[in-house]
Chains A and B, each alone.
Chain A
Amino acid sequence: MNKSRLIIRKALSGAHAAAEAMRQINPDVVAVYPITPQTPIAMKFSEFVNDGLVDTEMIRVESEHSAMSACVGSAASGARTMTATSANGLALMTEIVYIAASTRLPIVMNLVNRALSAPINIHCDHSDAMLVRDSGWIMLASENAQDVYENTIMAVRIAEHKDVLLPVMVLQDGFITSHSIETVFTFDDKTVKNFIGEYKPKYNLLDTEHPITIGPLDLFDYYFEHKRQQFLAMENAKRVIKEIFKEFSKLTGKEYDYFEGYKIEDADFIIVTMNSSVGTAKFVADELRSKGIKAGVLKVRVFRPFIPEEIVKKLKNSKVVAVLDRAPSFGSHGGVLFNEVRSAFYEEPEKPRILSYTYGLGGRELSVDMLRKVFDDMQKLNSGKKIDQIQFLGVRD
């Protein structure tokens, strides 16, 4: 294993970890609009801009819709472009979130996850991320501020790769991650600069010698082929993400994967989850391990593209899997992540039992007790007791 170049020790919140990564990336353009709990990213980065620590031009837009619209214009012009948002802000810009991906623009956006209205609520859940899960963005999830920092840097390389050219969203839990100060180990500026390199797009709008038309009317005779190209780009992303992970490993000495296991090698009972709940689940798994129960946790780092064979590989030897979803999917059979995991196993002759738990909506705390109950359910199911497949965690009747 390589020696880590994450040598600068800092006390950063998740939001400030994102801002610090952005400072080191030094993008050409950042267009952003304030919304809680994303605001500390915009505020910290604005300080960097106004103190002359970056070369970035900031566009302090009048809405999230205009934030993403300006990002599209900027990225189409060949500028490295970033933004950040949360919840209703993402909902407002969703039209352009799709356009950004479909125009194949490598924008990087930090999404600080927050519940969608109504009722209005500023706290964490993943309903915002799930709203745009089919929009064509690559989505990287972050367990903590360290992940936010590293994912944001890797996102630039993944997005701009010539075989991908898709925007990337880096997720972190609102308040839980974004506003909690942790120890974060960062690179020196030069390491980041060398890793991300210079952005040299093949086509750009400002090349007046070679005029291009971006965003034409595309009807039934070509639209479908262009969508197919997007599917191919997502397919390519699966390979490219792995390559970037490997390259990044050389700088950090850590290993990265689409799905990262914690004590899963011999585990009978595994919780699959993403973002900050991974940490809580690890704590409970350790507790059960000390009692001789073979518990483990599978952390989702890459939610889009979702790679079924990778998750099957990690879960196939377990007896029961519990998938945690922090977003409602009204009218569906269990949560979105649950359905992805369950569907991944359809063709497998041997498969674990799989349970769905919806938790933490609107920032409701996910307690250690709740996860003890989840592991308890898994054991009961394994010993022949009847357990509901679809459940909520921590909600009053």
Chain B
Amino acid sequence: MVNLKEIGNKKIRLAPGHRLCPGCGAPIIAKLAMLATDYDIVVADATGCLEVSTTIYPYTAWRVPWIHNAFENAAATMSGVETAYRVLKKKGKIKKDIKFIVFGGDGGTYDIGLQSLSGAVERGHDFLYICYDNEAYMNTGIQRSSATPFGASTTTDPAGRVRPGKQEFRKDLTAIMAAHHLPYVAQASLHNINDFLRKVKTALETKGPTFINVLSPCPLGWKFDPSKTIEISKIAVETCFWPLYEVKNDEWILNYDPGENKKPIIEWIKMQGRYKHLLKPENKWVIEKAQEEIDKRWQWLKKRCGKG
């Protein structure tokens, strides 16, 4: 059992002094993930906020071996690392047991890196891929990605006079990964740290490719006060915008069901400046349409989890 109390005594493997924004979800995710295990870890990181802000030469915040190759190939890179490990271990050149974690943002995972991720997990490499999903290309200045939610304003799909932000629903990457029939896939959120720690530990102790998608609030891109990161993570789950669930060997398990207390999506929307335009009366339909899709996907998920 790994929990918040227990990790308090452990060494944090991502040093302070990195240059990520206050309130950013990414370093919290990286720190917690590495606290969830006592194994030696090697990390691969896709190009993105986490990568550029933690390794500005000649400095590094990483107290574990770390590699960055390019934007779209973190999973492929790790497949090389993990394969090298297996060969060198077989040859007796490495004695230790090492676990491998990949971090990628939604741009590097949902979009440009999807092929590389799909290929790597299909080949069965033994690593955990953690997507820190902040729902847009934040590193390059808040551009739309396939993870950007319906109605949100981004710099490449801004709230305009004739188009009120993104008009497509977000890609369901967690389900896509589950469709690879991996031994372990999960979705997590930062307000429930024990749940996230447990999922990381479970993933790392599962042989083969595993995947965890974590919602990573971005104060700059979502336009909210940096002190609200955890609160906003909680609302995402309570509105069923970001359900907590896991898929173990194709068994879908719902980790949290708000039941009657399921909050309306407006609770999530009104906390963030990227949705500000939706509060105008003429954009009411956008919120309604967003709600409809969230309800539909929630029902679909419940059904998958045997609760429908």
Q: Do A and B come from one complex?
A: yes
Residues of B within 8 A of A74 (CB): 80-81, 83-84
How many angstroms from the CA of A56 to the CA of B114 in the assembled complex? 27
In the complex with contacts A69-B116, A216-B68, A78-B88 CB distance below 8 A: yes
Residues of A within 8 A of B91 (CB): 28, 55
**Which of B20-28, B59-67, B220-228 is the contact stretch?**
B59-67
Q: Across the interface, do B60 and A213 meet the contact criterion of CB distance under 8 Å?
A: yes
How many angstroms from the CA of A60 to the CA of B79 in the assembled complex? 10
Chain B interface residue bracket vs A? 35 or more
Residue among A60, A69, A78, A218 making CB contact with B84, cutoff 8 Å = A78
Chain A interface residue bracket vs B? 35 or more
In the complex with contacts A95-B70, A208-B42, A217-B80 CB distance below 8 A: no
How many angstroms from the CA of A76 to the CA of B58 in the assembled complex? 19
> Is the CB of B40 closer than 8 A to any CB of chain A?
yes
Q: Across the interface, do B60 and A216 meet the contact criterion of CB distance under 8 Å?
A: yes
Q: Across the interface, do B57 and A208 meet the contact criterion of CB distance under 8 Å?
A: no
In the complex with contacts A79-B88, A206-B42, A208-B40, A59-B56 CB distance below 8 A: no
Among residues of B, the one whose C-beta sits closest to the C-beta of A222 is B57
> Is the CB of B270 closer than 8 A to any CB of chain A?
no
> Is the CB of A266 closer than 8 A to any CB of chain B?
no
> Is the CB of B44 closer than 8 A to any CB of chain A?
yes
How many angstroms from the CA of A18 to the CA of B55 in the assembled complex? 39
Residues of A within 8 A of B94 (CB): 206
Minimum C-beta distance from B52 to chain A (A): 5
> Is the CB of B123 closer than 8 A to any CB of chain A?
yes
Residue among A70, A211, A212 making CB contact with B80, cutoff 8 Å = A70
Residue among B52, B55, B76 making CB contact with A73, cutoff 8 Å = B76
Contacts of A350-364 to chain B: CB distance below 8 A: none
Which secondary structure characterizes the binding site on chain B? mixed
Among residues of B, the one whose C-beta sits closest to the C-beta of A205 is B65
Residue among B58, B80, B84, B96 making CB contact with A208, cutoff 8 Å = B96
Q: Across the interface, do A215 and B68 meet the contact criterion of CB distance under 8 Å?
A: yes
> Is the CB of B86 closer than 8 A to any CB of chain A?
yes
> Is the CB of A135 closer than 8 A to any CB of chain B?
no
How many angstroms from the CA of A218 to the CA of B76 in the assembled complex? 22
> Is the CB of A39 closer than 8 A to any CB of chain B?
no
Among residues of B, the one whose C-beta sits closest to the C-beta of A207 is B65
Among residues of A, the one whose C-beta sits closest to the C-beta of B61 is A213
How many angstroms from the CA of A351 to the CA of B90 in the assembled complex? 58
> Is the CB of B85 closer than 8 A to any CB of chain A?
yes
Residue among A95, A206, A217 making CB contact with B52, cutoff 8 Å = A217
Contacts of A197-222 to chain B: CB distance below 8 A: 205-208, 211-219, 222
| Sampled A-B contacts (29; CB under 8 Å) | A29-B80, A31-B80, A61-B123, A63-B119, A66-B73, A66-B76, A66-B116, A66-B120, A69-B76, A72-B69, A73-B76, A73-B78, A73-B81, A74-B84, A76-B81, A77-B88, A78-B84, A78-B93, A79-B84, A95-B70, A96-B69, A99-B70, A211-B62, A211-B66, A213-B62, A213-B67, A214-B65, A214-B68, A219-B56
Give the 5 A-B residue pairs with the shortest CB-CB distance, closest first.
A73-B80, A62-B119, A70-B80, A77-B84, A79-B84
Chain A: residues with CB nearer than 8 A to chain B?
28-29, 31, 55-57, 59-63, 65-66, 69-79, 81, 95-96, 99, 205-208, 211-219, 222
Extra A-B contacts (9), CB below 8 Å, given A73-B84, A74-B80, A95-B70: A66-B119, A73-B82, A74-B81, A207-B65, A208-B65, A211-B62, A211-B65, A211-B66, A214-B68
